[in-house]
Amino acid sequence: MKLNATTDDILSADNHLIQSFCDLDALKQNTARTVINRAEGAFVYDSDGNELIDGIAGLWCVNVGHGRQELIDAVTQQLGQLDYYSTFYNFTHPSAAHLAQKIADLAPASLNHVYFANSGSAANDSAIRILHHYNERRGKPDKKRVLSRHGAYHGSTYLAMAMTTPAFSQTWSSASDLVHHLRSPHHWREGGGMTEAEFLDALMEDLEQSIAHLGADNIAAFIAEPIMGAGGVIVAPKGYHVRSAEICRANDIKYISDEVVTAFGRLGHFFASQEMFGVEPDIITSAKGLTSGYQPLSATIISDEIYEVISAPGEKFLHGFTYSGHPAASAVALANIEVMEREKLPEQVRTTGKQFESTLRDLGELDIVGEVRGSHFMMGIELVKDKATKVSFDDDVEIGGKVAEAAQKRGLIARPLGNSLILSPTLVMQPDLIEKTGDILRESITAVA
Ligand code: PLP
């Protein structure tokens, strides 16, 4: 292991690494790359020893904070006992089984069956494959299409990418024809002068018209994040999810809640779809906070009703990933949930997350801040050239990147996303650090404006 290599050594080795969602040419020219070397609690440390507040929890992941010995021990103990076995055919192992049971206990009442994969993308792909299988078994082979939304992010495999907003994909996906994108539910940008209630009606009309146009008999699912994440942290108008779910139910369309980001405490609950938005989905997909990122793992949690159909005598379920329910990942997820329950982390977030939200909302008074949006520890800040007209900065100004750079110089990692910044820190942030994060953002935005 090369844990103590010099920055130059690491950057030289890094020339062989292809990063994600990045400007490969700029990286090739060796422009500013940050080597994250070490992490502890709410902080990470770069290879020059700078301490940085982890304002994005890695990538919406490290909910219980970095460096938890309990989680590290869970991995090593598990590997010592059983390093790997698959969950294919009739094989299982204790960690995967107990984790499935634990997730079923935490999830809404009718969601009692869990399919494990290794990423949020694979969890969403699995949800659709399960529903296709379910509909075939019900004698409805044409019921395959998926309703998603402009602004959504559901992953980077070809099927998940097809469900993601077209703005994120450069390549044609063979699954694109399966997916229809509904209007973005972003009132501030897309509301066109309507009140929020009028906008909600317009969104529901779009949903109903799309179903009528495509034919309910051809649609398997509607997929939605409770709050859109990578699309800019978009909170839909109040009542949106409940009304969407009602329309789906009336049309025999399954409602998939993509809780890859929103579950496991980020919004103050283990699962936000029901507890915060009042919807009992047919399927919930989750990842990230499930293990706090200590190991890659995702869960596709399905209802009893779907499970009964796919497990009835007949055709086999032909789907599987080598690492589904990997022992080390399952063990660390169990330890992670144990920490969250013991420390009452979701409950704590209902206080500290609200403080974080209100600290960031105060930045709305700055001249170039157009909208501060989100909830608890899931926040977005959109920067605008003209606040009154909401006119955006030109793309080549790269305003989000500039503010993020200014913040990093001041000791905070924030994620730029076009003209917006995303803040999704570890859930262990306490009031002093929340205040400091707000101060750094204020200084950074003011310095760049
Ligand atoms: N769904 C949502 C809401 C996400 O935010 C992401 C990733 O950020 C994914 C799915 C895809 O997860 P992964 O990158 O683990 O494939």
pLDDT for 33 beyond 90 = no
Q: How far does residue 161's CA lie from ligand 1's centre (Å)?
A: 10
Q: How far does residue 293's CA lie from ligand 1's centre (Å)?
A: 12
DSSP state of 373: E
Average pLDDT (48-68) is 97
Percent of the chain, pLDDT > 70?
Answer: 98
Q: Which residues have CB under 8 Å from 100's CB, separation 6+?
A: 113, 114, 116, 325
pLDDT for 70 beyond 90 = yes
CATH code at 71-342: 3.40.640.10
Residue 225 Cα: closest atom of ligand 1? 3
Q: How far does residue 386's CA lie from ligand 1's centre (Å)?
A: 32
Which burial class, exposed, middle or buried, applies to 238 when counting CB atoms under 10 A from its CB (0-12, 13-18, 19+)? exposed
CB-defined site of ligand 1, < 6 Å: 119-121, 124, 153-156, 225, 229-230, 258, 260-261, 287
Block residue for tokens 């969950």: 87
H helix intervals, 138-278: 158-163, 187-190, 196-214, 240-250, 272-275
Residue 230 Cα: closest atom of ligand 1? 5
3-state class of 170 per DSSP? coil
Q: How far does residue 125's CA lie from ligand 1's centre (Å)?
A: 11
Percent of the chain, pLDDT > 90?
Answer: 89
ipTM (interface predicted TM): 0.99
Q: How far does residue 279's CA lie from ligand 1's centre (Å)?
A: 21
Q: Mean pLDDT for the chain? A: 96
3-state class of 41 per DSSP? strand
pLDDT, tens digit (0-9, with 9 covering 90-100), for 134-183: 999 999 999 999 999 999 999 999 999 999 998 887 666 678 889 999 99
Q: How far does residue 424's CA lie from ligand 1's centre (Å)?
A: 14
Which burial class, exposed, middle or buried, applies to 88 when counting CB atoms under 10 A from its CB (0-12, 13-18, 19+)? exposed
Which burial class, exposed, middle or buried, applies to 373 when counting CB atoms under 10 A from its CB (0-12, 13-18, 19+)? buried
Residue 296 Cα: closest atom of ligand 1? 15
| Least confident residue range of 9-13, 317-321, 334-338 | 9-13
pLDDT, tens digit (0-9, with 9 covering 90-100), for 76-88: 999 999 999 999 9
| Strand 298-303 to 412-413 pairing | unpaired
Residue 46 pLDDT = 94
Strands (E), 349-395: 369-375, 378-386, 391-392
Q: How far is CA 365 from CA 200, 354, 373, 446, in A?
A: 27, 18, 13, 11
| Strand 145-149 to 179-182 pairing | parallel
Residue 208 pLDDT = 98
Reported as a pLDDT band with limits 50, 70 and 90, residue 1 is low
H helix intervals, 44-118: 57-60, 69-81, 94-106
Residue 152 Cα: closest atom of ligand 1? 3
pLDDT, tens digit (0-9, with 9 covering 90-100), for 274-291: 999 999 999 999 999 999
DSSP state of 157: S
Query: What amino acid occupies position 306?
Result: I
Average pLDDT (42-62) is 97
pLDDT, tens digit (0-9, with 9 covering 90-100), for 102-143: 999 999 999 999 999 999 999 999 999 999 999 999 999 999
DSSP string, 272-327: HHHHTT----SEEEE-GGGTTTSS--EEEEEEHHHHHHHTSSSS------TTTT-H
Residue 350 pLDDT = 98
Q: Which residues have CB under 8 Å from 422's CB, separation 6+?
A: 56, 229, 230, 232, 233, 379, 380, 414, 415, 416
Reported as a pLDDT band with limits 50, 70 and 90, residue 31 is low
Which burial class, exposed, middle or buried, applies to 143 when counting CB atoms under 10 A from its CB (0-12, 13-18, 19+)? buried
Contact 223, 239 (CB under 8 A): no
Residue 315 pLDDT = 87
Residue 21: both structure tokens together: 């969602």
pLDDT for 91 beyond 80 = yes
Residue 171 pLDDT = 67
Residue ranges of domains in the chain: 34-64+345-448, 71-342
Q: Crossing angle of helices 240-250/196-214, nearest 10°?
A: 20
pLDDT, tens digit (0-9, with 9 covering 90-100), for 363-411: 999 999 999 999 999 999 999 999 999 999 998 899 999 999 999 999 9
Rounded Cα–Cα distance for residues 101 and 229 (Å): 28
Residue 66 phi/psi, 5° resolution? -80, 155
Residue 23 pLDDT = 87
Contact 414, 383 (CB under 8 A): no
Block residue for tokens 């910044």: 421
Rounded Cα–Cα distance for residues 98 and 93 (Å): 9
Q: Which residues of 383-417 are buried (b: 16+ CB within 10 A; e: fewer)?
A: bbeeeeeeebbeeeeebbebbbbbbbebebbbbbb
Fold exhibited by the domain 34-64+345-448:
Aspartate Aminotransferase, domain 1 (3.90.1150)
**Number of other CB atoms surrounding residue 448 within 10 Å:** 18
Choose one of 257, 260, 262, 288 to mutate for the ligand 1 pocket test, by most ligand atoms within 8 angstroms of C-beta.
Answer: 260
pLDDT, tens digit (0-9, with 9 covering 90-100), for 305-316: 999 999 999 989
Reported as a pLDDT band with limits 50, 70 and 90, residue 340 is very high
pLDDT, tens digit (0-9, with 9 covering 90-100), for 181-196: 999 999 999 999 999 9
